[in-house]
A and B are shown apart, each in its own frame.
Chain A
Amino acid sequence: MKTRLIIGFSLALNVALAAAIFLSAKKSPSPDHAPMATTPVPVVNPQSPPPADGSLPPGLPFRWSQIASKDLKIYRDHLRTIGCPELTVREIMRAVINELFGPRRQSILASFQGQYWDMVLHGDLVRRQGLPQTQYGQALSLLVAERQQLITDVLGQDVLPAEFERERLANLEQKRSWLSPEKRAKLMALEAKHQQQLAEWAESLGSRVNGMPTAEDQERLQKWQQEFDESEQQLLTPKELDELNLRESDVADWAGSRPGFNPTEDEWRLLTGLRSQYEESQRTLTNPDLTDEERMAQQNEAQANFDNAVKAALDPDRLAQYQLANNDQYQALHNVTQRYGLPDSVAAQSLNVQQTAQTQAAQVRANPDLSPEARQAALNAIQQETEQTLSQILGPKVLSSYKEYGGDWIAGLGTAE
């Protein structure tokens, strides 16, 4: 009997303990209860430092409403206080402000929706510059200004996007990969310092009434330039400096706009040097003491010198390719023929046809012995013949594309202007 009582008690205790365990397990909030994407998302933000435990501690007595506040500065400070990164603080505050202004904007927009087609009818949408002056524009302008003011109040002035600057520096870094990383970094630091000096100089001029530099200002500028040049010379060997000047000169990028001509490194160095000399000779033409005739003569001489030097630098085949690549008419043909996978010779052949046709048309137009009717007939014949020849060289499909992309001169052959 005693044993039975003990068994009974023990069984009751089992039931009680089992119930306690069940209830205890039920009370613990599972972080898995939050809705999650069913498909695994492999992307993890490597920039974000992972918390010690990926999920929130269970039973955390925290709700978003505790940091949210109608006073946006308080809201902002709550976020900063809990260590929310500044970028995220800004995004949150912007989102909150957008949400705040959304209904007002919608209400303004809604009230003008009925007038949308009236505005179209009255040409208001054509005069876009006038839109801010319309009733609609004014209402929206006020709201936009109010929103911007609130953003400024809460987050301070918008910082200019540094993305472009970052990209510029990354490109420069890549462009100067021929220099050692150490020298690259030092050179960029020197340039940044010099840029800063120039910016300060310009700012100091801008703050003056007339904005004109004094002799002292000029002297300061020259001194900085000299300091920069000297530092650069100390940093780089003469060979490196020459290389830098060549690669980053104003004329260095010419190969990027000559489709069909891919220079070798040696050709590029030679031609870039010649281009630099030519540019230098152009500067002397700005001398105010020169007469127009003298200037013209010097200009012609510089051009002839450059052309002769190029001829001497390249062998005949390469020279021909280079000259074609400098010809806009050839470029148009080259672009279209390349699109259809045709060889460069097809573009060159077509260019000959173009040049012949245009010369013939010019002769017909200039011929005083022709009556207007005879002139028109001759021009029409040239146009027709040119079109047929080009069709044979390019094929009708390519010719049709060419007419759309640069071949409008064909139709122009028939005009007697």
Chain B
Amino acid sequence: MKLRNPLTISLACNLALVIALVVMRRGSAAKTNASPSDTSLPATVTAAKLSPTATETPVPVVPWRLIASADYRQYVANLRAVGCPEWLLRDIIVADIDDLYQQKSRTDPVSFAPWQGTDQRRKASRGRSAKLNALRQEKWALVKSLLGYEWDNHGDEVWNQGFLTALTFGFLPDDKVSQVLLLKDQYAESAQNIREDANFILIGEDRARLQTLYDEFGAEMSRLLNPSELDELQLRAQQSFLIAHDMHFDGVAISREELRGIVRLSKSFKDMARDEFVSAPPLSEAEQARRKEAFDAQVKTLLGPGRYADYQRAQDFNFRETFEFTQRNALPQTAAIRIYDARRSAEAQSNEIQKDGNLSPEERAAALAVLKAATMNTVSSVLGGSYHNYLAGPGHWFNALVQPPEPQTGSQTQ
């Protein structure tokens, strides 16, 4: 009897385990055979079977609908499960989400009765903008929750935004470019909302909000980029200062590092990215002059007196015009400088002669003619064979030496 009980228990266990095993095997078999048409994909799909010309061959069966899912988490999981590369998975999911949100944002277009005035229309537009903004925020949050980071399919954008964008961002890895552009878009949108809310009349509190937003943007950028990447990007954004202030360096011996140094200094004059972002009010003339003076002094210190003089010369269009001519004609830089000096000297003398009240008109004309001939002679000796091309091009100023000054139009004359 003692032995009978263990035997019964053991036999019962045998039975239970056998049933469990059979149920499991059946379940597994049922799962595998649940949709044979869905899973009878050959182990290897050869290119020949799926080649574009072989359209009449039997359709291989791993329907996309088994991979795609209305639940994005599942969609991601499925793509990962079949070994879709992570970068492609990301683009597929984000494109799908883009499409979804594009459709969502299509509903309820804003419209007004034609008698609705500006204020009512503005209110309705802002309501719609707020709704679209909320959708965009939701989209970005969804992408982040799925991928673990924020992402926008900026690939095409980087390609198509033009040579300057590609060149400016080209020092960063592609992934970072996309993220920087996304961050830029996000913050630009938030800034635009502030401006629109203020009906583009920005008062102190609006600018304070914009400044806070800009600081947050800076902090996010610092997290995304390493210090040297951030520094380079900021300098590249700031280089537009040179364009905005019409600064030139023709004929100035300056290294890349020195140029970067000047761009860095210019930030204390006008911080291009910040001022644009916060819509900084224009500076008063006095403040503008004060900052320019301080900046010029810093540039002078950086370049030293000699090269600073060269830099000042480069700001004169007349020099740049001659410099470009000498460059095109493979002449040394000294040629441009000599011509420029000759021109300045001749123009100063011409002014003196024109103003000299002791000269009769004939004497004045004769003096100017002598000055012109002498100057042309100097320039000819500098340019040699290129002299005639110079006369046909930038050499137009010789004639101005002998022309009487234009009568001054006083503010009193009608």
- Co-complex (A, B): yes
- Give me the interface of A with B, judged by CB distance under 8 Å: 3-4, 6-7, 10-11, 13-14, 17-18, 20-21, 24-25, 28, 31, 34-37, 39, 41, 43-67, 69, 71, 73-74, 76-79, 81-85, 87-88, 91-92, 94-96, 98-99, 102, 105-106, 109-110, 112-113, 116-123, 125-126, 128, 131-132, 136-137, 140, 144, 147, 163, 166-167, 170-171, 173-175, 177, 247, 252-253, 255-265, 267-269, 272, 335-336, 338-340, 372, 397, 401, 404-405, 416-417
* Cβ proximity bits B91-120 to A, threshold 8 Å, 1 near / 0 not: 110011101101100100111111111111
Question: How far apart sit A132 and B45, CA to CA, in the bound complex (Å)?
Answer: 44
Q: Which of chain A's residues have a CB closer than 8 A to the CB of B411?
A: 372, 416-417
Q: A21-B21, A131-B163, A174-B110 are in contact. List 7 more A-B contacts (CB 8 A).
A: A18-B17, A36-B73, A49-B70, A50-B71, A82-B64, A116-B167, A256-B112
The CA-CA distance from A84 to B62 in the complex, in Å, is 10
Q: How far is the CA of A256 from the CA of B164 in the complex (A)?
A: 38
B273 in contact (CB, < 8 A): no
In the complex, residue of chain B having the shortest beta-carbon distance to the beta carbon of A265: B115
Closest 9 CB pairs of A and B: A109-B170, A268-B115, A262-B117, A17-B17, A174-B111, A34-B77, A95-B91, A91-B95, A10-B10
Q: B68: which A residues are within 8 A, CB to CB? A: 48, 51, 84-85, 88
The reply to whether B4 and A112 form a contact with Cβ atoms under 8 Å apart is no
CB atoms of B17 and A340 under 8 A apart: no
A-B contact count (CB 8 A): 326
CB closest residue in chain B, given A417: B411
- Are A62 and B21 within 8 A (Cβ)? no
Q: Kindly identify which residue among B51, B52, B62 contacts A62, using a CB–CB cutoff of 8 Å.
A: B62
Given known A34-B80, A117-B259, A336-B201, contact A45–B114 (CB-CB < 8 A): no
> Which residues in A have their C-beta under 8 angstroms from that of B17?
13-14, 17-18, 21
**A88 to chain B: which residues have CB within 8 Å?**
64, 68, 92, 95-96
Inter-chain contacts of A259 with B (CB < 8 A): 117-119
A147, B158: Cα distance in complex, Å:
13
Contacts of B13 in A (CB 8 A): 10, 14
> Are A113's CB and B164's CB within 8 A?
no
**Which B residues are in CB contact (< 8 Å) with A81?**
50, 59-60
Residues of B within 8 A of A73 (CB): 52
Check B69–A98 contact: CB distance below 8 A.
Answer: no
Q: Which of A6, A24, A36, A173 contacts B21 (CB 8 A)?
A: A24
- Smallest CB separation, B7 vs chain A (Å): 5
Q: Is the interface of B mostly helix, strand, loop or mixed?
A: helix
Query: Which one, A11, A57, A91, A116, contacts B66 given CB within 8 A?
Result: A57
Residue from B39, B60, B70 within 8 A of A44 (CB atoms): B70
Do B155 and A98 touch across chains, with their CB atoms under 8 A apart?
Answer: yes
Contact among A28, A120, A170 for B109, CB-based, below 8 A? A170
Q: CA A44 – CA B81 in complex, angstroms?
A: 20
Q: How far is the CA of A45 from the CA of B221 in the complex (A)?
A: 32
Q: Shortest distance in angstroms between A250's beta carbon and chain B's nearest beta carbon?
A: 12
> Distance in Å from the Cβ of A330 to the closest Cβ of chain B?
13
Looking at the assembled complex, report how far the CB atom of A251 sits from the nearest CB atom of chain B, in whole angstroms. Answer: 10
- The answer to whether A144 touches B111 (Cβ under 8 A) is no
Q: Which residues of B contact A (CB under 8 A)?
A: 3-4, 6-7, 10-11, 13-14, 17-18, 20-21, 24-25, 28, 31-32, 34-35, 38-39, 41-45, 47, 50-52, 59-85, 87-88, 91-92, 95-97, 99-100, 102-103, 106, 109-121, 138, 142, 145-146, 148, 153, 155-156, 159, 162-164, 166-168, 170-171, 174, 198-199, 201, 203-204, 236, 239, 242-243, 248-249, 254, 256, 259-260, 263, 281-282, 411-412
Tell me the bound Cα distance from A50 to B13 in angstroms. 42
Measured in the bound complex, the distance between the Cα atoms of B133 and A181 in whole Å is 30
Task: Give complex CA distance A25, B21 in Å.
Answer: 10
Q: How far is the CA of A53 from the CA of B113 in the complex (A)?
A: 48
Interchain CB contact under 8 A, A7 and B69: no
Which residues in A have their C-beta under 8 angstroms from that of B145? 37, 39, 41
Whether the pair A57, B72 counts as a contact (CB closer than 8 A) is no
Nearest CB of B to A387, in Å: 15
- Cα distance A253–B13 when bound, in Å? 86
In the complex, the answer to whether B100 meets A45 with C-beta atoms within 8 Å is yes
Nearest residue, chain B, Cβ from A109? B170
Partner of A92, one of B20, B92, B198: B92
Please name all residues of chain B whose beta carbon is closer than 8 Å to the beta carbon of A173 when the two chains form the complex.
109
Taking the closest CB of chain A, its distance from the CB of B8, in whole angstroms, is: 10
